[in-house]
Structure 1
Amino acid sequence: MALSSGRVRDLCEDDLLAILRKYLPSASGVVVPSGDDSAVLPVPDGRVAVSTDMLVEDVHFRRGWSSGEDVGWRAAMQNLADAVAMGAVPISLVVSLELPGDLPVVWVEGLARGMAAACALCGTGVDGGDLVGGNKVAISVTVLGALEGRDPVLRSAARSGEPLIHAGVLGRAAAGMALLGHGYARRRAAFLDEESLAIDDFLRPKPPLRQALAACRDGAIGAFMDVSDGLLRDARRMAQASGVWLDIESTRLADSIHPLIGIGRRMGMADPWQWALETALSGGEDHGFLGTLRVHAERAWGLNTPTLPDGFTRIGTVREAHDGGLVTVDGREIALTGGWDHFGGA
């Protein structure tokens, strides 16, 4: 019997590992690949950025909505973004899986293919991990990122007067999740409608990894972080860490808000414009990047205006120092709603 034609319960751990290894890449220059007690990797400058994230079935994804490829892509991509948010190049992922016995093996193959496709964007390997049986699919991914001799970029580095900048989409994933909840499905066609594009952005987030890394390498970035839990929630974390007041200008979010208005209208929202604004400000799971431009505002927007890093737009300004941090929209403080939080706090 071909291994991929059965169920997970029909295979032993070595069989499953053989299937996964068939698809998953190794890090460049890996010393000891998957298969021993630990993988051994070369580190160019001796400093590694490390982050771990999890995806749990029926908490972060539903198999009725997501294919194995979708889940593998998303599991890899959210961790790649965490490394890049520190200015580090993702060199390897360590992946542990909990798999129920009745899970089709072809779904596991799809997960590996999706993960490999995401890793290919950065040349990242998958080197080591663990497999356990369980009642639902759960995926734990640890990313190792090389800083290449640079200092890490931190969310605590925002300075008064700096422009607030963002790369990626805002509100698209939240809109896609809302559409799925309203019974919409992603179309498979050469040209996707706005609904299908939003659903795809939820199922397969597309953080601008290369542009973010390029900006960090060029020294253009002051403070920096991944936006995974919603713009307002993550901006507040940056403001608190830096002790500053961040002011977001709603007019600068027009390109993000405009396509969401039509989606809100088609879902029957009472005020599609207000829904679109709130979704752009508070929707999570986009995995874009929020940062500050390392130049004072008076020089940034005067006669010698510098070019923003590729892929970034200005969305506001670091106004001034503020004990405890403050985030406003058009100068007004807004109650924190929406976004993603497992436990209800910030």
Structure 2
Amino acid sequence: MSRPRPPVPSHPADTVGAVGEFGVIARVVARAGVARLAEVGPGDDAAVVSAPDARVVATTDVLVEGRHFRRDWSSGEDIGRKAAAANLADVAAMGATATALLVGLACPAETPTAWLEEVAAGLAAECAPLGAAVVGGDTVASAPGSGAVVLSVTALGDLAGRSPVLRSGARDGDVVALAGRLGWSACGLAVLRRGFSSPLAAVAAHRRPAPPYAAGPVAAAAGATAMCDVSDGLLADTGHLATASGVVLDLDRAALVQACLTPEGPLQQVGAALGVDPLVWVLTGGEDHALVATFPAGTPLPEPWRPIGAVRAAERAGVLVDGRPAEVVARELGAEGTGHAHFG
């Protein structure tokens, strides 16, 4: 395993404080990209984005340095892609396609402008395949002495005439299905926390998630009854879906192993090296931004969806793994809980 390299120090003249607010904005906007549905982009008091469906899907995430990213672990482009992915996946989980991003930035005056340009490039690169882009935002100075960078990203999306897929629609007999990968980001984080940067595939997955954006609209078109993205851990997020729908989601351990754990893959390699069952990352690891959905029984699952369980009626909503409470299974695997909990 190789160790991560420390960030390259910046030149004192190439900082936010030296360039100034409008200098920073000009350099960031130059890398923003073009949103397909933007009628007015950055430069005015507000952007104007077409809404062909007459409804707009909207979501916001906040990323705080030291909690969601570290500059000694990830490049500016990595962080931009990660910030975009967290929001674009939420739009996809509603069955929609992203159209635009708005970005708020708080940073100290000594922040290198070159690093912010990298963040802007990462945001643009993640949005480009969807025809979306950053259309506006705001920059402010962090509180003196705080030193942390905070990114707030808002994503807008279009449903293309479809009904939104909510968390509350799962019904008894539905099939639980997964699109995307699970456990990779948590595995990469475990590697980085020990001061290393390989296997590269796992570390890259933590730095740059790869959400299956197209799978959201595909699931909606195929009749998905409920859906959410997996940002806090499969057990935690299916718990939200189960609670909203008033049902039990019974996950199939063997199906999850088949879907998520390739023999001799990086999760097994790192798990063996660290003495960790990689299934714990699959069940409780966050920030992969896979999608989980429920489909009526008998519905052919479209690509890339794979079955991982079933929905059961119950007096008390919750999540099971092979019929056993999720909390018990997670504890047996050595997890401290079923996933990430803010303020927990």
* Among 279, 282, 288, the residue aligned to 1:280: 282
The Cα offsets for residues 38-96 of structure 1, whole Å up to 9 and x where unpaired, read as 11111102101111101110011111101100100000111000111111111110001
TM-score normalized with structure 1 length: 0.88
Letter in 1 for 2:280: E
1:196 maps to which residue? 200
Listed as ranges, the matches of 1:176-255 within 5 Å are 176-186=188-198, 195-216=199-220, 218-255=221-258
Superposed structure 1 runs of 4+ greater than 3 Å apart: none
CA distance, structure 2, for counterparts of residue 128 and residue 54 of structure 1? 16
Letter in 2 for 1:266: A
2:91 maps to which residue? 83
* Among 66, 69, 76, the residue aligned to 1:68: 76
- Summarize the Cα distance change of 1:197–1:165 in structure 2 as closer, same or farther, 3 Å threshold: same
CA distance, structure 2, for counterparts of residue 130 and residue 52 of structure 1? 14
Task: Name the count of aligned residue pairs.
Answer: 318
Contact 1:4/1:105 (8 A) holds in 2 = no
1:318 maps to which residue? 311
1:149 maps to which residue? 161
Listed as ranges, the matches of 1:3-42 within 5 Å are 6-42=14-50
Contact 1:5/1:105 (8 A) holds in 2 = no
> Aligned Cα RMSD in Å?
1.7
- Summarize the Cα distance change of 1:338–1:247 in structure 2 as closer, same or farther, 3 Å threshold: closer
CA distance, structure 2, for counterparts of residue 290 and residue 215 of structure 1? 10
Letter in 2 for 1:11: V
1:171 maps to which residue? 183
Query: Secondary structure of the residue that 2:38 maps to in structure 1?
Result: coil
Query: Secondary structure of the residue that 2:73 maps to in structure 1?
Result: coil
The Cα offsets for residues 115-170 of structure 1, whole Å up to 9 and x where unpaired, read as 11100121112111100111321100001111122110001110111110001111
Listed as ranges, the matches of 1:262-281 within 5 Å are 262-267=269-274, 269=275, 272=276, 275-281=277-283
CA distance, structure 1, for counterparts of residue 318 and residue 85 of structure 2? 30
Query: Shift of the alpha carbon at 1:4?
Result: 11
Query: Shift of the alpha carbon at 1:184?
Result: 1.2
1:158 maps to which residue? 170
2:120 maps to which residue? 112
Deviates more, 1:101-110 or 1:155-164: 101-110
Contact 2:181/2:290 (8 A) holds in 1 = yes
> Which runs of 5 or more structure 1 residues have no equivalent in the other structure?
187-194, 301-305
CA distance, structure 2, for counterparts of residue 147 and residue 278 of structure 1? 34
Matched, 1:125 2:117: no
